[in-house]
């Protein structure tokens, strides 16, 4: 009986399926003529939306939106990331060569891309990338095939077209830094120079570090004479200087200029020369953190820093210096008196090579400014245990071309001399300017006075009274990891009319700080030329009640504005 019931059920199912499929249309799905047009329309719309709204990156679940990395989609819907993303986030070294090639290194991984093509090599093996890299002159940045590079570095990427978001996950943890790194071997240093009897080591160290930022693509030498004689400080050539002067000189567009246009050591300078590069960013690393320092050298370039050298100029006699091995280790009580450029390191440099044996192996490779007769053709090795080296370090991380902006408005030629605040980590500060022509507000620059600083940039259209500072619109927000000098490009520049008095307002929060606002004032003999008559700056605790800094505090707010002609 059960057998016949099962047969009957199978028969009913079979008849039902026959009728079901007999009722369905026959044939196959074919693409219409509009199919390809629809695909291209979807691609074009997605690319345009990504350009307008930006693409966020989630790294191991954490958003990087506040850092404003300009992730792009090409016309084939392939992701491209700027070199700064690879440097900042993955700790890569990204080098651009005059022949058009680009090299990316991280730990033991090496990627070579040939001349803006899809061809290259990964760890010595031929490779074809999903899209070609290119150089954006307007942004001064390489844009590289993101998914291919991250995959080679041990990361997985997933892109959501709907949410415009890239999820990046590290699959295999690895150390991005090698045990030994020497910028000389990578073609990333300019020739050793000789400061002579002048106290200009600070200028040689500043420009020596700056030059490495552009190597190996550009091999220009910049004029230390011009920097030492055309900054706004009261400073003689025989007196020493420091990094704040270098940053102020560069940030004010006073330089750099080429060495061939203003040669060193002749006691003369040409003050009519104009800057051939515009500094956009320099980070200040306070305190000795070897991993941060090594990472900065590897990613960005040489580090300007100072140490105590007991030897006189070209004198090799010191109990702390081993002339045979060009090694130096100081463990005394004197503070720093000489600036150098750190261009590499060796974790395994034997401690036995020092005259006074330190407790640990390891040394930084330093470029000096005493000519090639000193040390190892101008270089020497400083122990990791040295008491002064890298207590404060400066890295020039971003340089723009001289046409990155058309005009500069500023009142802080001496730059970051001191700090203001309200005994809190947060504050508001503003500068008022009057447009000299019909132009657009294309960018601003300011100093983050400590690490982990968040900021928002506002525009006040009418600053004829302080009430106008409260009627402001948000232009852009961001975050910085380190103290330093930062330039912020405005994504949608407001238009300014000739004669219009406007203001830029910054809301800043620097973790752990009680005075987060950088100011310029006459603090000592060297800064006594500070001119506070050329500015109109304000500070406020909550961004509502404003105090004029030139009147009450006798200082200028460090806040520059950059414009472009309309």
DSSP conformation class of 388 = S
pLDDT > 70: percent of the chain? 91
For residue 551, pLDDT over 60 is answered with yes
For residue 528, pLDDT over 80 is answered with yes
pLDDT of residue 542: 96
* Cβ atoms of residues 72 and 135 within 8 Å: no
* Cβ atoms of residues 497 and 532 within 8 Å: no
Distance, CA of 355 to CA of 320 (rounded, Å)? 6
Distance, CA of 26 to CA of 324 (rounded, Å)? 90
pLDDT of residue 267: 84
Q: Is the peptide bond before 130 cis (omega within 30 degrees of 0)?
A: no
For residue 3, pLDDT over 50 is answered with no
For residue 105, pLDDT over 70 is answered with yes
Tokens representing 333 are 């009580």
**Higher-scoring residue by pLDDT: 13, 554:** 554
**Higher-scoring residue by pLDDT: 17, 311:** 311
State how beta strands 93-96 and 439-448 pair. Answer: unpaired
pLDDT of residue 53: 61
pLDDT of residue 139: 80
Residue in the structure block whose two tokens are 């002579």: 196
The string of DSSP letters for 169-212 reads EESS----S-SEEEGGGGT--PPP-B-TTSS-HHHHHHHHHHHH
* Cβ atoms of residues 193 and 371 within 8 Å: yes
pLDDT of residue 164: 86
pLDDT of residue 188: 95
Query: If you count them, how many residues does the chain have?
Result: 566
Query: Within 13 Å and on the Cβ side, how many CA atoms surround 94?
Result: 21
Tokens representing 425 are 């980590």
Distance, CA of 115 to CA of 128 (rounded, Å)? 13
Which of 394, 398, 481 lies closest to 209 in space, CA to CA?
Answer: 394
Q: Name the pLDDT band for 349 (thresholds 50, 70, 90).
A: very high
Q: Name the pLDDT band for 5 (thresholds 50, 70, 90).
A: very low
pLDDT of residue 241: 82
* Cβ atoms of residues 254 and 230 within 8 Å: yes
- Give the mean pLDDT of the chain: 90
* Cβ atoms of residues 459 and 468 within 8 Å: no
Q: Name the pLDDT band for 173 (thresholds 50, 70, 90).
A: confident
CA distances from 474 to 89, 225, 291, 427 (A): 27, 42, 36, 16
Tokens representing 482 are 């380190």
User: To which H or E segment does residue 126 belong?
Assistant: strand 125-128
Q: Name the pLDDT band for 488 (thresholds 50, 70, 90).
A: very high
For residue 443, pLDDT over 90 is answered with yes
Distance, CA of 135 to CA of 94 (rounded, Å)? 13
For residue 327, pLDDT over 60 is answered with yes
Residue in the structure block whose two tokens are 């000795």: 288
Give every CB contact of residue 385 below 8 A, 6+ residues apart in sequence: 329, 331, 358, 359, 360
For residue 26, pLDDT over 60 is answered with no
pLDDT of residue 19: 44
pLDDT > 90: percent of the chain? 75
Average pLDDT over residues 68-97: 90
Q: Name the pLDDT band for 37 (thresholds 50, 70, 90).
A: low
Q: Name the pLDDT band for 226 (thresholds 50, 70, 90).
A: very high
pLDDT of residue 27: 53
Tokens representing 134 are 């290119």
Q: Name the pLDDT band for 43 (thresholds 50, 70, 90).
A: low
pLDDT of residue 149: 95
Average pLDDT over residues 441-460: 97
Q: Name the pLDDT band for 69 (thresholds 50, 70, 90).
A: confident
**Higher-scoring residue by pLDDT: 458, 28:** 458
Q: Name the pLDDT band for 44 (thresholds 50, 70, 90).
A: low
DSSP conformation class of 67 = G
pTM for the structure as a whole: 0.87
Average pLDDT over residues 49-74: 82
For residue 524, pLDDT over 60 is answered with yes
Residue ranges of alpha helices (H) inside 345-407 are none
Tokens representing 394 are 């400066």
Residue in the structure block whose two tokens are 């690895």: 174
Tokens representing 355 are 């005259």
Tokens representing 365 are 């490779």
């Amino acid at each position: 009986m059960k057998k016949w019931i099962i047969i009957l059920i199978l028969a009913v199912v079979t008849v039902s399926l026959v009728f079901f499929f007999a009722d369905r249309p026959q044939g196959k799905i074919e693409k219409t003529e509009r199919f390809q047009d629809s695909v291209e329309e979807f691609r074009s719309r997605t690319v345009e939306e990504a350009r307008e709204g930006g693409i966020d990156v989630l790294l191991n679940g954490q958003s990087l939106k506040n850092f404003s990395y300009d992730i792009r989609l090409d016309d084939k819907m392939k992701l491209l990331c700027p070199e700064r993303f690879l440097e900042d986030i993955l700790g890569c070294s990204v080098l651009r060569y005059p022949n058009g090639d680009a090299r990316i290194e991280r730990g033991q991984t090496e990627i070579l891309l040939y001349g803006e093509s899809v061809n290259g090599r990964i760890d010595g093996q031929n490779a074809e990338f999903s899209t070609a890299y290119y150089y954006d002159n307007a942004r001064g940045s390489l844009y590289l095939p993101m998914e291919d590079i991250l995959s080679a570095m041990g990361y997985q990427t997933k892109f959501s077209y709907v949410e415009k978001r890239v999820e990046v996950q590290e699959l295999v943890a690895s150390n991005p830094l090698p045990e030994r790194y020497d910028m000389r071997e990578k073609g990333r240093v300019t020739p050793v120079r000789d400061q002579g009897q002048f106290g200009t080591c600070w200028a040689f160290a500043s420009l020596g570090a700056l030059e490495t930022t552009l190597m190996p693509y550009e091999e220009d030498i910049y004029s230390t004479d011009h920097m030492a004689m055309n900054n706004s400080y009261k400073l003689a050539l025989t007196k020493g200087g420091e990094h704040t002067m270098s940053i102020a000189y560069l940030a004010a567009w006073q330089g750099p200029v080429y060495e061939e246009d203003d040669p060193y050591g002749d006691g003369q300078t040409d003050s009519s020369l104009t800057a051939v590069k515009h500094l956009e960013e320099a980070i200040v690393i306070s305190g000795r953190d070897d991993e941060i320092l090594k990472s900065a050298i590897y990613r960005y370039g040489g580090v300007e820093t100072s140490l105590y050298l007991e030897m006189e100029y070209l004198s090799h006699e010191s109990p702390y210096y081993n002339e045979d091995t060009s090694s130096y280790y100081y463990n005394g009580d004197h503070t720093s008196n000489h600036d150098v450029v750190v261009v590499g390191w060796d974790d395994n440099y034997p401690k036995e090579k020092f005259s006074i044996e330190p407790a640990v192996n390891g040394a930084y490779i330093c470029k000096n400014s005493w000519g090639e007769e000193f040390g190892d053709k101008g270089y020497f090795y400083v122990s990791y245990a040295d008491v002064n080296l890298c207590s404060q370090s400066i890295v020039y991380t971003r340089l723009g071309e001289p046409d990155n902006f058309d005009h500069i408005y500023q009142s802080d030629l001496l730059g970051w001399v001191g700090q203001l605040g309200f005994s809190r980590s947060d504050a508001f500060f503003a500068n008022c300017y009057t447009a000299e022509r019909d132009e657009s507000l294309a960018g601003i620059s300011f100093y983050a006075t400590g690490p982990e600083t968040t900021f928002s940039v506002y525009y006040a259209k009418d600053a004829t009274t302080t009430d106008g500072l409260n009627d402001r619109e948000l232009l852009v927000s961001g975050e910085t990891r380190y103290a330093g000098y930062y330039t912020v490009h405005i994504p949608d520049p407001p238009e300014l009319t000739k004669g219009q008095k406007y203001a830029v307002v910054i809301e800043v929060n620097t973790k752990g700080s009680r005075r987060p606002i950088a100011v310029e004032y006459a603090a000592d003999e060297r800064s006594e030329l500070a001119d506070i008559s050329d500015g109109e700056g304000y500070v406020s605790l909550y961004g509502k009640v404003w105090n004029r800094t030139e009147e009450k505090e006798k200082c200028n707010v460090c806040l520059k504005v950059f414009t472009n002609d309309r």
